[in-house]
Structure 1
Amino acid sequence: MKRFAIPLLAGATLALAACGSEPAPEATEAATPAPTGPGPIASAAADNADLSKFLDVVRSAMLGGSLIAHGPYTLFAPTNEAFDHMPKGKLDKLSVPEQQKNLAALINYHIVKGAMDKAALTKAIEDGKGKAELETVEGGKLTATLQGDTIVLTDGNGDKAKVTDDGTEASNGYLYSIDTVLSPH
């Protein structure tokens, strides 16, 4: 899956570099090293082999650029096993070109506006007296609750997904793995 994310990142970097208004440094100047730190959410997802099916779906929905350039946001990415537990044929039906809009809506339902680390998510749940309403990029709502130390997301259908990790910080937000594909309807 990295083979798709890396060229996508390289293309975005080249496109941004071509837009620069500063002249290139002269040969006698030392180049300033690139800042180090976390890359975009797409890179974090590409580094996680258990999210390869999610990245395939993102590519089918043509949303890869959003995971690189936009944000800040929090992405709850279903694991490969979560996709394996979807009703047989549902993902195939959504992956045809005519269903690209519905596939994009499904992915965008897993993206919440704003970057939230685990402490911020937990605090939002506690401040909401046991639940937090999270607005998705798709326009829907996810309800976050705690079961012990585990964050649980509930979609509009009442289906639940457990957050299976502590999250990965990215330059444009946070990435979490979840054990179920959530649905806006």
Structure 2
Amino acid sequence: MTKTFAPAIFAASAAASLAFAAPALANHHKGGHGETPMVGGAAMYPAKTIVENASAAGNLKTLVAAVKAAGLVETLSSPGPFTVFAPTDDAFAKLPAGTVETLVKPENKGMLTSILTYHVVAGKVTAKDVVALINQGGGKAMIKTVQGGTLTASLEGKNVVLTDAKGGKSIVTQTDVMQSNGVVHVIDSVVLPG
């Protein structure tokens, strides 16, 4: 059985005591006790927006450039909340040569917007929420994106994996980087809509 994303399910599962597996937590750098999470060597301040924090992260430069090219800065700076599965620069580098350069051209803005919004979920979805949905769904959770498509979340060993509409997989490498307007989870590959 597969659970499908619904805000009520996320709200109910927020209290679940499940957590992402050890590898994700090892890279987590979760705040608390005065600690500020780090992404790409930069502090991620919970009082700043997704765009403000991503712009400071040393390993999210391609994502930020793409968000600017797609005209999504204002949207991802709004109150939200949003959950962003943020591909690193290395994730974008896995795409075929020239893909990013082609996508950021003005004539491809629609396609770029579709890809970027496929990485965004409405609402604040924490690691516990995702794992709880995977467990409730018998090993899989369907997560509806702002783009309109779905991502399938599952556990492979101790990793949370997102499978896109084309069967591509991305591992969540850092979780629960809290923002003033949502939460960011860092992923190691770009996910693509159907």
Normalising by structure 2, we get a TM-score of 0.74
Q: Please, which runs of 5 or more residues in structure 2 have no aligned partner?
A: 1-44
Q: Distance in 1 between matches of 2:166 and 2:46?
A: 38
RMSD between aligned residues: 1.4
Structure index of larger Rg:
1
Alignment map for 1:56-95 (pairs within 5 Å): 56-95=65-104
The answer to which of 128-137 and 66-75 deviates more is 66-75
* Contact residue 133 and residue 144 of structure 1 kept, 8 A: yes
The alpha-carbon deviation at position 37 of structure 1 amounts to 4.8
Aligned residues between the structures = 150
Q: How far did residue 70 of structure 1 move?
A: 4.2
Give the one of 64, 71, 91 matched to 1:55: 64
Q: Deviations over 1:82-102 (max 9, x none)?
A: 111101111222111111111
Whether contact under 8 Å (1:133, 1:142) holds in the other structure is yes
CA distance in 2, matches of 1:180, 1:130: 21
In the TM superposition, residue 39 of structure 1 has moved relative to its aligned partner by 1.8
Specify which structure has the bigger relative contact order, considering alpha-carbon pairs within 8 angstroms and separated by 6 or more residues.
Answer: 2
Query: How many Å separate the matches in 2 of 1:86 and 1:144?
Result: 21
Q: Do residues 119 (structure 1) and 128 (structure 2) align?
A: yes
Partner of 2:177: 168
8 Å Cα contact 1:50/1:79 also seen in 2: yes
Deviation at 1:46, TM superposition (A): 2.1
**Contact 1:44/1:175, CA 8 A, preserved across alignment:** no
How far 1:159 sits from its partner (Å)? Answer: 0.2
The answer to which of 131-140 and 41-50 deviates more is 41-50
Paired with 1:162 and 1:143, the residues of 2 have a C-alpha distance of: 12
Partner of 2:168: 159
Q: Structure 1, unaligned stretches of length 5 or more?
A: 1-35
Instruction: After the TM superposition, list the runs of 4 or more consecutive aligned residues in structure 1 that deviate by more than 3 angstroms.
Output: none
Measure the CA separation in 2 of the matches of 1:38 and 1:108.
Answer: 23
How far apart in 2 are the matches of 1:97 and 1:115? 30
Q: Which has the higher strand share?
A: 2
Percent identity, aligned pairs only, is: 37
Query: Following the alignment from structure 1 to structure 2, what is the Cα–Cα distance between the partners of residues 174 and 60?
Result: 22
